[in-house]
Amino acid sequence: MTTSADRRQRPGLAWAAPAALFFLVFGIVPIAAVVYLSLTRWDGLGTPQWIGLNNWRALANDADALHSIRITLLLTLLCWMIQTPLSMMIGVWAAGPQRNRAILSTLFFLPLLLSTAAIALVWLALLDPNFGLAHNLGGLVGVPDGNFLGDPHRALLSVAFVITWQFVPFHTLIYQAATRQIPHTLYESAALDGAATVRQFFSVTLPQLRNTVIASSVLIVVGSLTYFESILLLTNGGPGTATRVLPLHMYIKGFVGFDMGYASVLAVLLVLIGTLLSVLIVRTTGYHRMGSQREGL
Amino acid sequence: MHRNAVFPNRARHERAGWCGVRRRVWTRRAVACLFVAALLGLTAACALFPSGIGPGGRVFQVWALQDPQNQPIIQAALDSFNKTSTTKGSLTVYLNDAYKQKLQVSMGSPNAPDIFFNWGGGNLAPYVKAGRVATLDDALSENPSVKNAFLDSVMKTARIGGHQYGLPINGIQPVILYYNKAVFAKYHQQPPRTWDDLMTLVDAFKTHGVIPLVLPGTQAWTELMYLEYLLDRVGGPGKFEAIAGGNTSAWHDPAMLRALQLCQDLAKRGGFGTNFASINYDNTGASALFAQGKAAMFLMGSWEYTNQAQRQPDFFKSGNLGFTTFPTLTDGAGNPKDIVGNPSNYFSVRAGGRNTQAATTFLIKTLKSDAYVTSLVSSGQVPAIKGVNAKFAGSPNANFLNFTYDMANKAPAFTQSWDQALSPSVASELLTNLQKLFLSDITPQQFVDAMEKAQ
């Protein structure tokens, strides 16, 4: 009696309809369309022509595609390696109650307020080898001619640097909030046991931040698959293909070369890699059964 | 207490039941009303303004590039056309790099512009093949004075399959070697006549800490200019014609390998300085370096002359902006008078639009009109009009105008920029590989191997 009454009160399938419809129209249908387009030749004009698996065969011969996957992974790794320790340190520091920390943190968070395009354009101007900061300060980091974005190796590091500058504040915010959640009693008992600040960090703070590290890493890794506009504006994938990540390769094939069929192959590839990566992360990190780490609290 | 624990929300549920039904009915009605209102609004808007018609009559859309030089001229021409025409023209401008994508997407949709800017050749051909461009043949045969006014070598680039699909809208744009007279005078040098002269100059300017040739290498089309000229100097215009004709093995021609090698050697020798791959053209970085005397020479299209006049007025007024032809190659097979560049830019009319007639009339009436041609000349351009040099006398830019006119007039071959002549996908491969070649990431042989596969 009660259960049936409850069931009557529970939202029916109809309630899920708007969301499901949205997902169908903007999620499933485009993916299906892209899979179809990957089997055609189409330049955006006229009607797509069915060519079977030709585009997929072309993928095997496209050295740039493999290269761009490698660049994507390298950039992800670089960003993760720089961002995680940096934002954790700033976040834990900013979690302290001191007034000066609050003021400085506010300044650190400023990049969060800027749009990606604005950040990329500002850095593009700063990295100009003749008229930017790169001209004046390049010598200090061993690049007297300011050639940051034009050198194949430095270009990738520069891109990683700009992306880091943009996203560290966001991850700092996550770490700051998480650190403030750690109960004081843990630190008090650690202090009673004779643990100094450094020991407290490694024995209390770090274990308590485990889930935060995972969450922040997931965001970095998944986000890195979509780094696009910063790179487009900073280097356009260049010089040559030195900073051409997979999304940019897809864009160049589709919207510069107007080979929509082959660009769709790359889009499907991107969907597959993204799905694979998120399944992998969820499985290996135990993200899906994340629980409290605070024994007895 | 117990009851509450088991059914904590029961009372609230029961009460909400009655109100909920009523509220739901109201919500549903409100949503339905909003939906209907929105639909009505949309239909009303559509009925009032079907595409191409704004309040107060029909409007045809003109798309062009954002460009301080030509934009005001086109706008003025539209304003004067609009005074007498019932169908008004409206100009929308886009940034160079974004324009091609914007155009491609819109040309595949029903919202294509009625008149669109293009580069002719491989840039225009896909739209013609897709049946999206109206031929101007009829309008031109009705107006023979217009048809015969333009230089045929320039009209040719917008002629596809024997039909005319575009008319030149601005000046001819050969690639010119600019040099800074002040820098040359300071180090007692003369502008180069041969490739060997250029090599000597490169070494000389390097020792003085001056960039011999400024190259905005973040944009590979500026590197392409060197290859275009060198291939013509080494092997003549036929070598590229073969490639443009679809013969992919023509990339393997020894002349191509030699031209690529010359490009790479020049870069390795330090001809472009060490940081050319970070220099940009669109932010005027390269033009400023040249005007400030940090670079001695600049290989760029004829538009750089007006660009310097507008962006570097002090340098321009100082009279130190020198210009000359690309050096000759003593053992080359090409004619030293050959030139490369953009014959012109074009306006084409969309096929099947409701404003095709008005758009065509605008082009026919405007592009060879005295007012239009005169404003092109006074902005420092050489319009693709026969005998236009008669208008140069008295112009402050007469020297440059005559130089450009003679250059184009005496050239046995005017090769169109390769990235405009080839299909977009091949052009994109070409530019990527060219950047790698200039950075010595790949050898000339690897370059031609990659290009042969591109399609």
Q: CA torsion, points B383, B389, B390, B391, in degrees to nearest 10?
A: 50
Look over chain A and give the mean of its residue pLDDT values, rounded to a whole number.
87
Establish if A188 belongs to a structural domain: yes
- Residue B405: count other Cβ atoms within 10 Å of its Cβ: 18
Establish if A97 belongs to a structural domain: yes
pLDDT for A295? 57
Q: What is the mean pLDDT of residues B12-36?
A: 43
Q: Residue B52 and residue B64: Cα distance in Å, rounded?
A: 18
Q: Residue A154 and residue B201: Cα distance in Å, rounded?
A: 30
pLDDT for A296? 53
Task: Please report which helix (H) or strand (E) contains residue B206, including its range.
Answer: helix B195-207
**Does the beta carbon of A235 lie under 8 angstroms from any beta carbon of chain B?**
yes
**Does the beta carbon of A132 lie under 8 angstroms from any beta carbon of chain B?**
no
Residue A236 is part of which domain span? 61-288
pLDDT for B316? 94
pLDDT for B55? 45
Q: Are residues B160 and B207 in the same domain?
A: no
Q: What is the mean pLDDT of residues B169-175?
A: 94
Whether A290 has a pLDDT exceeding 80, the answer reads no
Token pair, residue B205, equals: 């300017």
C-alpha distances in Å from residue B405, one per residue of B17, B119, B151, B325, B442: 86, 20, 11, 13, 38
pLDDT in tens, B276-287: 999 989 888 899
Residue A130 CA, distance from chain mean position: 31
Q: Are residues B350 and B336 in the same domain?
A: no
**Residue B6: pLDDT band with limits 50, 70, 90:** very low
Q: What is the mean pLDDT of residues A285-295?
A: 62
Question: How large a percentage of chain B has pLDDT more than 90?
Answer: 69
pLDDT for A227? 84
Tell me the three state secondary structure of residue B213: strand
pLDDT in tens, A169-215: 999 999 999 999 999 899 999 999 988 888 989 988 998 898 899 88
8 Å CB contact of A148 and B276: no
Establish if A32 belongs to a structural domain: no
Is the model more confident about B4 or about B157? B157
Q: Residue B266 and residue B253: Cα distance in Å, rounded?
A: 20
Q: What is the nearest CA distance from B343 to chain A, expressed in angstroms?
A: 22
pLDDT in tens, B298-319: 999 999 998 899 889 999 999 9
- For the whole model, what pTM was predicted? 0.84
Whether B49 has a pLDDT exceeding 70, the answer reads no
Q: Are residues B199 and B325 in the same domain?
A: yes
Whether B40 has a pLDDT exceeding 90, the answer reads no
Q: What is the mean pLDDT of residues B170-182?
A: 95
**Does the beta carbon of B100 lie under 8 angstroms from any beta carbon of chain A?**
yes
Substitution target in B218, B278, B443 with the highest count of A β-carbons within 10 Å is B278
**Does the beta carbon of B312 lie under 8 angstroms from any beta carbon of chain A?**
no
pLDDT for B41? 45
Residues of A in contact with B427 (CB under 8 A): 257
Q: What is the mean pLDDT of residues A216-239?
A: 88
**Residue A289: pLDDT band with limits 50, 70, 90:** low
pLDDT in tens, A52-72: 899 999 998 888 999 999 999
Q: What is the ipTM of this complex?
A: 0.85
DSSP B123-192: GTHHHHHTT-EE--HHHHHH-HHHHTTB-HHHHGGGEETTEE--EE-SB-EEEEEEEEHHHHHHTT----
Q: What is the nearest CA distance from B283 to chain A, expressed in angstroms?
A: 9
Q: Are residues B188 and B219 in the same domain?
A: yes
**Comparing A46-50, A121-125, B23-27, B399-403, which segment has the lowest mean pLDDT?**
B23-27
Q: Residue B207 and residue A49: Cα distance in Å, rounded?
A: 58
Whether B23 has a pLDDT exceeding 80, the answer reads no
Establish if A46 belongs to a structural domain: no
Q: Are residues B316 and B353 in the same domain?
A: no
pLDDT for A174? 93
8 Å CB contact of A150 and B279: yes
8 Å CB contact of B435 and A151: no
What's the number of CA atoms in the CB half-sphere (13 Å) around residue A113?
Answer: 5
pLDDT for B285? 87
Look over chain B and give the mean of its residue pLDDT values, rounded to a whole number.
86
**Residue A161: pLDDT band with limits 50, 70, 90:** very high
**Residue B17: pLDDT band with limits 50, 70, 90:** very low
Establish if B305 belongs to a structural domain: yes
**Residue A15: pLDDT band with limits 50, 70, 90:** confident
**Residue B4: pLDDT band with limits 50, 70, 90:** very low
* Largest separation between any pair of C-alpha atoms in chain A: 81
Q: What is the nearest CA distance from B277 to chain A, expressed in angstroms?
A: 4
Establish if B41 belongs to a structural domain: yes
Establish if B414 belongs to a structural domain: no
Q: Residue A143 and residue A157: Cα distance in Å, rounded?
A: 13
Q: What is the mean pLDDT of residues B218-246?
A: 95
Q: Are residues B333 and B202 in the same domain?
A: yes
Whether B163 has a pLDDT exceeding 90, the answer reads yes
Q: What is the number of structural domains in chain A? A: 1
Q: Are residues B385 and B356 in the same domain?
A: yes
Establish if B439 belongs to a structural domain: no
Q: Are residues B261 and B368 in the same domain?
A: no
pLDDT in tens, A89-132: 999 999 888 888 888 888 888 888 899 999 999 999 999 998 88
Whether B10 has a pLDDT exceeding 70, the answer reads no
End position of a domain, from candidates B389, B409, B429:
B409
Residues of B in contact with A61 (CB under 8 A): 453
Question: How large a percentage of chain A has pLDDT more than 90?
Answer: 47
8 Å CB contact of B217 and A239: yes
**Residue B110: pLDDT band with limits 50, 70, 90:** confident
Q: What is the mean pLDDT of residues B112-117?
A: 95
pLDDT for B3? 36
Q: Are residues B159 and B78 in the same domain?
A: yes
Whichever domain contains A74, its CATH number is 1.10.3720.10
Establish if A224 belongs to a structural domain: yes
Establish if B440 belongs to a structural domain: no
Q: What is the DSSP letter of B62?
A: E
**Does the beta carbon of B181 lie under 8 angstroms from any beta carbon of chain A?**
no
Q: Are residues B156 and B288 in the same domain?
A: no
Q: What is the nearest CA distance from B401 to chain A, expressed in angstroms?
A: 32
B196-B197-B201 Cα angle (round to 5): 115
If 0-12 CB within 10 Å is exposed, 13-18 middle and 19+ buried, where does residue B218 land?
A: buried
pLDDT for B323? 96
**Residue A224: pLDDT band with limits 50, 70, 90:** confident
**Comparing B19-28, B96-105, B342-351, B382-391, which segment has the lowest mean pLDDT?**
B19-28
Q: What is the nearest CA distance from A154 to chain B, expressed in angstroms?
A: 11
Whether A134 has a pLDDT exceeding 60, the answer reads yes
Q: What is the number of structural domains in chain B? A: 2
8 Å CB contact of B130 and A240: no
Establish if B101 belongs to a structural domain: yes
pLDDT for B52? 42
Residue B357 is part of which domain span? 11-172+345-409
Is the model more confident about B13 or about B448? B448
Nearest Cβ partner of A44 from B108, B217, B274? B108
**Does the beta carbon of B108 lie under 8 angstroms from any beta carbon of chain A?**
yes
Establish if B441 belongs to a structural domain: no
End position of a domain, from candidates B341, B365, B387:
B341
**Does the beta carbon of A139 lie under 8 angstroms from any beta carbon of chain B?**
no
Whichever domain contains B215, its CATH number is 3.40.190.10
**Which residue in chain A is spatially nearest to B12 when comparing CA positions?**
A9
End position of a domain, from candidates B326, B341, B356:
B341
**Residue B415: pLDDT band with limits 50, 70, 90:** very high
8 Å CB contact of A128 and B285: yes
pLDDT for A36? 95
**Comparing A61-75, B38-52, B107-121, which segment has the lowest mean pLDDT?**
B38-52
**Which residue in chain A is spatially nearest to B430 when comparing CA positions?**
A240
Asked if the peptide bond before residue B444 counts as cis, ω within 30 degrees of 0, the response is: no
pLDDT for A291? 59
Nearest Cβ partner of A46 from B101, B130, B425? B130
pLDDT for A11? 67
Q: Which residues contact B335 (CB under 8 A, 6 or more apart)?
A: B236, B412, B413
Whether B443 has a pLDDT exceeding 70, the answer reads yes
pLDDT for A4? 53
**Residue B237: pLDDT band with limits 50, 70, 90:** very high
8 Å CB contact of A44 and B289: no
Q: Residue B175 and residue B404: Cα distance in Å, rounded?
A: 10
Is the model more confident about B253 or about B25? B253
Is the model more confident about B43 or about B156? B156
